Amino acid sequence: MRFTDIFAAMSPAALSGISPANPLKRLARVGAYAALRLVGHLFQPIRNQADLRGAVWLYVVSANNYEALQFIQQSQPGAVLVAGQGKNIGRYNGAVQRLSLRRKLLYYWQYPGALAGLWRREGPRAWRFFDLIFYAIGYYEVYGRALRNYRPRAVVFANDHNDDARAMLLACRAAGIPTAYVQHASVSANFPPLGFDLSLLEGQDALDKYRRCGPVRGRAALVGMPKADAYLARRNTAPAVRRVGLACNIHDPLPALADTLAYLAGALPELTLTLRPHPSDTRDFGPLHRQLPQVQWSDARQQNVFEFLETQDALVAADTSTHLEATLLNVASIYYRFAANPLTDDYYGYVAHGLVPRAADLTALGALLGALAQHKSADLYRRAAYYNATLGTPDEGHSQPLAARVLGAWLNEAPGAPA
């Protein structure tokens, strides 16, 4: 994914947080990573509270991953949530077991060859992202050693495209460890091919997109959205929109966000506006807060996305899976682009498949919200059936037990399962 046109065409603001444009800054980051992670891990003790040997590993790389897999612990006694040493899992940092990465340092003799090989294959983009290549070195070997040592019964993922998650998947294949995947957010046709022994997907949309990515390995089952179970019974029943949330991420320029909020505050003063930056968005929103003191704020580090949506009647956002989550709760959602990258237009296909309407400009956005302020339909959520396979079935709102049953049956059939 790091060498695709879409990744290279990300906004400078978005890319700077991942890989700075200035090569000296990239080099400085590599130095900091080497000092704090590669060397720092040598002196960081690992004191796991759970036994990892022979357990089902729930491998996480973020707080969202943790929330997507946590329910499996209840149906699989002895399942443990694990993450790489030093990986930031947000507010769940202390709740996961850690896999040592101390030996990662031993494999950096491979870096020059990896960089040269990728330069021959990918051209100048290998140099542009030499820091990302540096970070990825050694994960495969270290995880392979951990798998051989602990021999987990299986490894369950909620991420299929980060470098460390890909390394774990490939190491599992080499070690003969069964793998399963639980989709935790909307997917794109730009993802790697689905490569797990069992994939629990939310709906037909995800399966169709993965088939465009390449051959689908193993078995795929459509189980709906487990993380939404607790909220589907509390759908929004407001007959008209009064509260509007705007969800943004690093791809949305701050000036465009400010212009949108200012326009809506002036055109529709009767509406309460709430801005919710993505939890990974570390930009300084102070000037925007001072410019528009009437706008409310949602802290994504303290309030999960469904808790936020429960306080809204409508959502305005660009390319984010929050559109789907909003629609499932019968919150009226509108696709509005704050940036103009043509490669990411309708990235998840929500407009193309009729999940949400598009507002082409501020005038159109104001008109759509103005109409919703007069009337909001009570059955918007039905549009999400293509994305959530349990919608309208007896399993609606019960995706967690459904996923647990499918996963449990697969584990009992997997190699090495207890007799």
pTM > 0.85: yes or no:
yes
Percentages of the chain per state (helix, strand, coil), in multiples of 5? 45, 10, 40
Kindly report the average pLDDT of the chain as a whole number: 93
Domains belonging to the chain, first-starting first, are: 5-177 (no CATH), 231-386 (3.40.50.2000)
Could you report the per-residue pLDDT of 225-278, keeping only the tens digit for each?
Answer: 999 999 999 999 999 999 999 999 888 999 999 999 999 999 999 999 999 998
- Letter string b/e over residues 372-389, b meaning 16 or more CB atoms within 10 A of that residue's CB: bbeebeeebbebbbbbbb
d(CA 207, CA 385): 13
DSSP 334: E
d(CA 227, CA 329): 13
The token pair at 34 is 């080497």
Report whether pLDDT(419) > 50. no
Could you report the per-residue pLDDT of 363-397, keeping only the tens digit for each?
Answer: 999 999 999 999 999 999 999 999 999 999 999 99
Q: In which order are the strands placed within the sheet that holds 272-277?
A: 296-297, 272-277, 243-248, 314-317, 332-335
Could you report the per-residue pLDDT of 24-45, keeping only the tens digit for each?
Answer: 999 999 999 999 999 999 998 8
Whole-number percent of the chain with pLDDT over 90: 80
- The 8 Å CB, 24+ separation contacts for 180-183 are 180/154, 180/155, 180/156, 180/407, 180/410, 181/156, 181/157, 182/68, 182/69, 182/72, 182/156, 182/157, 182/158, 182/226, 182/403, 183/158
Could you report the per-residue pLDDT of 77-104, keeping only the tens digit for each?
Answer: 889 999 999 999 988 999 999 999 999 9
Could you report the per-residue pLDDT of 295-336, keeping only the tens digit for each?
Answer: 999 998 888 899 999 999 999 999 999 999 999 999 999 999
The token pair at 60 is 């996480």
Q: According to the model, what pLDDT value does residue 417 have?
A: 57
Closest CA to 382 of 243, 174, 235: 235
